[in-house]
Amino acid sequence: MPKNGSSDHDRNAADQRWQSAYEENLPGDAQRENRSGIPIKPLYTPDDWDSESYMPDLGFPGEEPWTRGIYPTMHRGRAWSQRQLVGLATPEQYNARMRKIVAAGANALSVIPCNSVYRGYDMDEVDPVLLGTCGTTINTVDDLDTCLDGVPIDTTSIALNDPSPFTLLAFLLATANRRGISWDKVSGTSNQSDFISHFVANHMFFRLALSGARRVFVDHVAFANEHVPKWNPVSVVGQHMQQAGATPAEAMAFTLSTAIQFADDCIARGMDPDKFLPRFTFFFDISISFFEEIAKLRAGRRIWARIARDRLGAKDMHSHRFKFHAQTSGLDLTRQQPLNNIARVTAQAIAGIFGGLQSMHTDAYDEVLSTPTEEAAKIAVATQNILRDEAHLDDVIDPLAGSFYVETLTNDMEEQILAVMDKVEAAGGMFEAVRTGLVQRMIGESAAKFQAKVDGGEQAIVGVNKYQDDSEIPPRALDRPSADVMQRHIDNLKRFKSERSNEAVAKALDNLARASEDESDNIFGRIVEAVEAGATNGEVCGRLRDELGFGQPLIAA
Amino acid sequence: MSATNSATDDGSTTAASVDLQGLLGRPARVMVTKIGLDGHDRGSRLVAGFLRDAGMEVIYTAPWQAIETVVNQAMEEDVDAIGISSLATDHLLVPKLMEAMRAAKLDDVVVIVGGIVPENDANDLREAGVAEIFHPGSSRDEIVTRIAALISENRGR
């Protein structure tokens, strides 16, 4: 729009009129701020952001500065993928569900193991009452082979919830060998590769001590880059930290700082950023703070591209793309009046879509009551279908761009994210900042601050501190696997162990132990050999814990 | 703005609004821990902070404690109460903890569970002797006041 003196003059006069009218109608209007602490004004105008900044701030989708999206076609070319978590107790049960999903046309699967697997213990090492209550008990290559029986692993993308030392990927590669499928056809993502986020905020996945996990991480990226080129070995996770209480700006900042740390570690190993960065992916939480989340994701995309290009020296634009999965925040869901959660998830999901995500998980409304029921899980999927096919949210790329508010907020969030990243940098980078507890302290402070706002009523939560009623909270029983089914699975593990060569397993585990002392060896390569020899998840994790140390969170809360 | 569930009459929600000294005499000693496999510890950290701010002596542990470890530590630390935080089904182990406590003659220690506990399981836990279960959405005051009351009741017995 051409600018001239008189239109500026008109606008200033109108602005003045509006300000006085506003103050007159709403005297003493309280200051508002978003969860990241950014003050929110009642109105945004071209004084805050104007279209002169269009090219430097926004540009076009699929090119610098990437604010508007990482692909030229975005959701029109390919709608976001719907990755729902599936957790079923035994490999057979998981497989029965997967066959249905594949028959329905899915070309992407997720594997969610049981907590015992995450902790690195086999079925015979934990209290049976805990087995299979949260996910599938996968202890051996046979188990993963069974999970994926009838699934074409050369054409299906497989997301593994697979923390360091990545035994599930080793099982998958061993399964590919059994089936005569070459590794360059195997595609998918190591979803829980971010040991830093586990150390800070999700200790479920934290199996190995910090420095050992760092070594295994780089070995795993190097191995995947070389032998499994379509595999994404890195998913940098902001979700855990935001769920633990980080503000949206902090969560984005910590994620980007973590990605820098990972890239620096790979570069220090002599790896080429243009080889490993295109295989970096990210994973975020979407809270119900609607515009803040949209701005967080847009700002993150812009910052990452700059880091990849300027700081890490990546020349290929595939390295600059900020590919991310997002999950609606379970923290915003309430036990009181639980059907209200469907509305919350809808608002969160819209924010994620407007933020330009590549893949999404919407929470089931009842996950705050128990592990989700099938009905609730279906509603969660339907929510995404309705937003895409009925509300047509995939019609226009980055539809909020150019809004005075959204652009101002995107710039403000960017500034705040960079400020937090500077603190991490000053502490010596993300590894040091978490080792010394700086990040944990910041998250703890933000969590307490938010809780105080909720307790004080300043942050309303419908049904909890506002609009409460006496409606009963629906009784829920935990869906537990039958003891017989679980016992048969435990018997399978016994049989597996009796049929393998224990000598070969012992030798392979010794090789693994030696590799952990020999920097020139690749630990992950030795894990693949060990599971091919018949080593279990518990044996691999146990041996590496002996060698590299047991992963413990910092205790100073 | 509506009142919170448990705000005091003057609207104050600080933990100081609970007269713990008057209620308890000597400070309460509470162990905050997690048993089983899950490591989600935002809840246990927050609650440990609330209790500490309210003047209680808090023994905070890492997640994944074995039941025997919890019982032994409770004995050594001479605690009034144990708070078990559970997000992902570890509450299923609590009846075993209660048995182990009885075997160790720790019947006088109040056991509280907080986190995601389906209602049917909550009944089982109460039957096993758990004194209180805090679900998501419980406020700081609710938690602090109730724990203080349980401890004071228990000391009076």
What is the spatial order of strands in the sheet that A108-111 belongs to?
A108-111, A157-160, A187-190, A231-232
> Which amino acid is present at B25?
G
Q: What is the largest CA-CA distance in chain B?
A: 50
Using alpha carbons, select from B72, B59, B62, B60 the residue that is nearest to residue B27. B59
Confidence bin at A21 (pLDDT 50/70/90): very high
Answer for the pair B32, B61: CB distance below 8 angstroms, yes or no: yes
In chain A, positions 239-258, which contact chain B (CB-CB < 8 Å)?
243-245
Check whether A258 has a pLDDT greater than 70. yes
Is pLDDT larger for residue A133 or for residue A119?
A: A119
CB–CB contacts below 8 A, A to B: 130
Q: Look at residue B48 and tell me if it is in a domain.
A: yes
- Helices A537-548/A167-178 angle, 10° precision: 140
The predicted model scores a pTM of: 0.89
Q: Counting beta carbons within 10 angstroms of the beta carbon of residue A446, is it exposed (0 to 12), middle (13 to 18) or buried (19 or more)?
A: buried
Establish if A458 touches chain B: CB-CB under 8 angstroms.
Answer: yes
CA dihedral A113, A114, A116, A122 (to 10 degrees): -60
- Structural domain tally of chain B? 1
Q: What is the pLDDT of residues A44-70, one digit of tens each?
A: 999 999 999 999 999 999 999 999 999
DSSP symbols for A284-329: EEE-S-HHHHHHHHHHHHHHHHHIIIIIS---SGGGT---EEEEE-
Interchain pair A369, B116: CB under 8 A: yes
> Which amino acid is present at B132?
E
Interchain pair A129, B92: CB under 8 A: yes
Task: Output b/e per residue, A73-101; b: 16+ Cβ within 10 A.
Answer: ebbeeebbbbbbbbbbbbbbbbbeebeeb
- Structural domain range at position B112: 25-156
Using alpha carbons, select from A276, A250, A279 the residue that is nearest to residue A265. A276
Check whether A281 has a pLDDT greater than 90. yes
Q: Counting beta carbons within 10 angstroms of the beta carbon of residue A21, is it exposed (0 to 12), middle (13 to 18) or buried (19 or more)?
A: exposed
Q: What is the pLDDT of residues A189-231, one digit of tens each?
A: 999 999 999 999 888 888 899 999 999 999 999 999 999 999 9
Distance of CA B41 to the CA centre of its chain: 14
Using alpha carbons, select from A319, A352, A361, A397 the residue that is nearest to residue A78. A397
Residue with tokens 């020296």: A313
The contacts of residue A392 (CB under 8 Å, 6+ apart) are none
Q: What is the pLDDT of residues B40-52, one digit of tens each?
A: 877 888 899 889 9
CA distance A334 to B103: 38
Count of other CB atoms within 10 angstroms of residue A548: 24
| Cis omega (within 30 of 0) for bond into A165 | yes
Confidence bin at A554 (pLDDT 50/70/90): confident
- Give me the phi and psi of A280, to 5 degrees please: -80, 135
User: Percent of chain A having pLDDT more than 70?
Assistant: 97
| ipTM for the assembly | 0.70
Instruction: Give A239→chain B minimum CA distance, Å.
Output: 13
Closest residue of B to A204, CA-based? B39
How distant, in Å, are the alpha carbons of A279, A392, B49 from that of A72?
Answer: 19, 18, 48
In chain A, positions 171-210, which contact chain B (CB-CB < 8 Å)?
201-206
The contacts of residue A11 (CB under 8 Å, 6+ apart) are A45, A46
CA distance A505 to A401: 57
Check whether A498 has a pLDDT greater than 70. yes
Nearest to A451 among B46, B61, B92 (CB): B46
CA distance B16 to A553: 30
> Can you give the pLDDT at residue B14?
43
> Can you give the pLDDT at residue B6?
34
How distant, in Å, are the alpha carbons of A195, A248, A495 from that of A327?
Answer: 19, 13, 39
> Can you give the pLDDT at residue A5?
61
Tokens of A267: 């570069």
Interchain pair B42, A134: CB under 8 A: no
The contacts of residue A415 (CB under 8 Å, 6+ apart) are none
- Mean pLDDT, chain A, integer: 92
> Which amino acid is present at A275?
K
Q: What is the pLDDT of residues A141-187, one digit of tens each?
A: 999 999 999 999 999 889 999 999 999 999 999 999 999 999 999 99
Check whether A2 has a pLDDT greater than 70. no
> Can you give the pLDDT at residue B90?
87
Mutate to test the interface with B, among A478, A541, A550 (most CBs of B within 10 A): A478
Average pLDDT over residues A295-308: 98
Q: Residue B83's beta-bridge partner residues? A: B32, B112
Q: How far from each other are the two terminal CA atoms of chain A, in whole angstroms? A: 54
Q: Counting beta carbons within 10 angstroms of the beta carbon of residue A480, is it exposed (0 to 12), middle (13 to 18) or buried (19 or more)?
A: middle
Answer for the pair A219, A226: CB distance below 8 angstroms, yes or no: no
Using alpha carbons, select from A322, A365, A366 the residue that is nearest to residue A345. A365
Check whether A134 has a pLDDT greater than 80. no
Mutate to test the interface with B, among A32, A450, A465, A552 (most CBs of B within 10 A): A465
CA distance A201 to B40: 7
Count of other CB atoms within 10 angstroms of residue A29: 10
Q: What is the pLDDT of residues A432-463, one digit of tens each?
A: 999 999 999 999 999 999 989 998 999 999 99
CB contacts, 8 Å: B94 with chain A? none
CA distance B73 to B88: 23
Instruction: Give B156→chain A minimum CA distance, Å.
Output: 30
Give the CATH number, domain containing residue B74: 3.40.50.280
Q: Counting beta carbons within 10 angstroms of the beta carbon of residue A26, is it exposed (0 to 12), middle (13 to 18) or buried (19 or more)?
A: exposed
Using alpha carbons, select from A404, A423, A453 the residue that is nearest to residue A295. A404
Interchain pair B141, A455: CB under 8 A: yes
Q: What is the CA radius of gyration of chain B?
A: 15
Check whether A311 has a pLDDT greater than 60. yes
Using alpha carbons, select from A150, A180, A249, A244 the residue that is nearest to residue A206. A244
- Give me the phi and psi of A270, to 5 degrees please: 90, 15
CA distance A451 to A539: 41
Query: CA triplet A551, A553, A556: central angle to 5 degrees?
Result: 150
Establish if A164 touches chain B: CB-CB under 8 angstroms.
Answer: no
Average pLDDT over residues A405-417: 98
For each of chain B's 157 residues, which pLDDT tens digit applies?
Answer: 233 333 333 333 444 445 565 666 788 999 999 998 887 877 888 899 889 999 999 999 988 899 999 999 999 999 999 999 988 788 989 999 999 999 999 889 999 999 988 888 888 899 999 999 998 888 888 999 999 999 988 887 6
- Domain made up of A54-455: CATH architecture: Alpha-Beta Barrel (3.20)
Is pLDDT larger for residue B71 or for residue A371?
A: B71
> Can you give the pLDDT at residue B45?
87
Is pLDDT larger for residue A482 or for residue B156?
A: A482
> Which amino acid is present at A6?
S
> Can you give the pLDDT at residue B20?
62
Check whether A88 has a pLDDT greater than 80. no
Q: Look at residue B2 and tell me if it is in a domain.
A: no
Residue with tokens 């923290």: A331
Establish if A531 touches chain B: CB-CB under 8 angstroms.
Answer: no
Q: What is the largest CA-CA distance in chain A?
A: 88
Establish if A96 touches chain B: CB-CB under 8 angstroms.
Answer: no
Establish if A472 touches chain B: CB-CB under 8 angstroms.
Answer: no
